Amino acid sequence: MSQINSTEITKSPRGSVGIERSFSKRAWNRFKKNKLALFGLGVILLLIILALCAPIISPYNPFITVRNEFGLANTSQPPSSNHLLGTDNLGRDVLSRMIFAGRISLSVGLVSVSIACSIGVVLGALAGYFGKWVDSLIMRVTDVVICFPVLFLVITVSTMLKPNIFNVMAIIGLVYWTRVARMVRGEILRVRELDFIQASRALGASDFRIIGRHVIPNIMAPLLVQATLLTAQAILIEASLSFLGVGVQQPTPSWGNMLNAATSITVLGFRPWIWIPPGLAILITVLSINFIGDGLRDALDPKLEE
């Protein structure tokens, strides 16, 4: 009789899963089952390694025109054993430029989303936790900013400032915080009324302690999902800006500004090696991040726990 009792206790209400395993471990187990998400994670890790080791890996200097034995620039060469992806209009190695451009895309994605999340979490937390006029004010500002199509707003502001990578990061961050703020506010309204928050309030914890120590950790899961999906968006926006010529400027390579060459019909029709690889690079990067985001959403959703 006593033996039966003890097995029942170790089995716990969750059955075979067991309570000793942490939430993150269980989430990782669910994430692992999603093949697309694992594929995405692999691609992004590979891209990070390529970006970190860019100067070692790239076969040529991405800024310098390659010259042949007669001292002439090797412009618009099709792919060959010397240049795996050919050379561009100025005779620069496309593959090397692609590798260096990966640094730009990934860092723009990470930095701009960090900015967006910082602003969004602070404003969303203030609105959700304090309610009343603080909430109305912050949410009305959010309503206004959300009315401007993102690309429109980003293009407009980037023409007012100097077009460089740091401004691009800042502008994207300053536009995307609204999504984070709305999500955080909604989550906080939900978490705020939970018993343990009431308990710590009763114990005399200050508002900022409650938000920082209890509320924010409880909304990390949806925040992580949102941040991942926004990173994909931010990379797309940077690529569009650079394609239009108001983002990252030549000679710094970015996948977006490499595609700008394809606005000439000669390049578009007859030199596909110049514009197809960077386009595919954007597609695969954004696709991989979206796969990861989707996998995270399923893995971190406690409702889906078996």
Partner 1 sequence: MQKYIIRRIVQAIPILFGITLLTFMIMQLAPGNPMVTMIDPSISMEDLARAEQSLGLDRPLIVQYWQWLKQILSGNLGYTIRTGQPVSALIGARLPATLLLTSTALVISFILGVPLGVFSASHKYSIPDYGLTLGAFVGISIPGFFLGLGLIYIFALKLGWFPTSGLMGIGMNYEGWPYFIDRVRHLFLPALALALPNMAAVMRFTRSSMIEVLTHDYIRTSRAKGLSAKVVLFKHALRNSLIPVITIFGLSIPFLFGGAYITEQVFNWPGMGSLGIAAITGREYPIVMGLNLFTSTLVLMGNLIADILYAFVDPRIRYS
Beta bridge partners of 73: 67
Encoding tokens for residue 293? 């985001």
- Residue 54: count other Cβ atoms within 10 Å of its Cβ: 17
46 binds partner 1 (CB under 8 A): no
152 binds partner 1 (CB under 8 A): yes
Q: Please identify, among the stretches 65-73, 193-201, 208-216, 234-242, the one whose residues bind partner 1 according to the rule CB under 8 A.
A: 234-242
243 binds partner 1 (CB under 8 A): yes
Q: Please identify, among the stretches 65-73, 197-205, 214-222, 259-267, the one whose residues bind partner 1 according to the rule CB under 8 A.
A: 259-267
149 binds partner 1 (CB under 8 A): yes
H helix or E strand, kind and range, residue 131: none
**Contact residue for partner 1 among 54, 122, 155, 174 (CB under 8 A):** 155
C-alpha gyration radius of the chain:
24
84 binds partner 1 (CB under 8 A): no
The amino acid that residue 246 corresponds to is: V
239 binds partner 1 (CB under 8 A): yes
269 binds partner 1 (CB under 8 A): yes
Question: Helix, strand or coil for residue 278?
Answer: helix
Nearer to partner 1, 216 or 287 (CB): 287
- Look at the alpha carbons of 65, 237, 188, 132 in this order and tell me if their dihedral is positive or negative: positive
Nearer to partner 1, 87 or 142 (CB): 142
**Contact residue for partner 1 among 245, 250, 252, 264 (CB under 8 A):** 245
Encoding tokens for residue 242? 């650079």
166 binds partner 1 (CB under 8 A): no
Alpha-carbon distance of 203 to 192, in angstroms, equals 15
DSSP 81: S
Nearer to partner 1, 87 or 242 (CB): 242
Helix (H) and strand (E) counts in the chain: 15, 0
Q: Please identify, among the stretches 87-95, 180-188, 206-214, 237-245, the one whose residues bind partner 1 according to the rule CB under 8 A.
A: 237-245
Scanning 193-302, the segments in alpha helix (DSSP H) are: 195-202, 207-209, 216-218, 220-244, 255-259, 265-270, 272-300
Contact residues for partner 1, defined by CB under 8 A? 36, 140-141, 143-145, 147-153, 155-157, 159-161, 232, 236, 239-240, 243-246, 256, 259, 262-263, 265, 268-269, 272, 275, 279, 282-283, 286-287, 290-291, 294
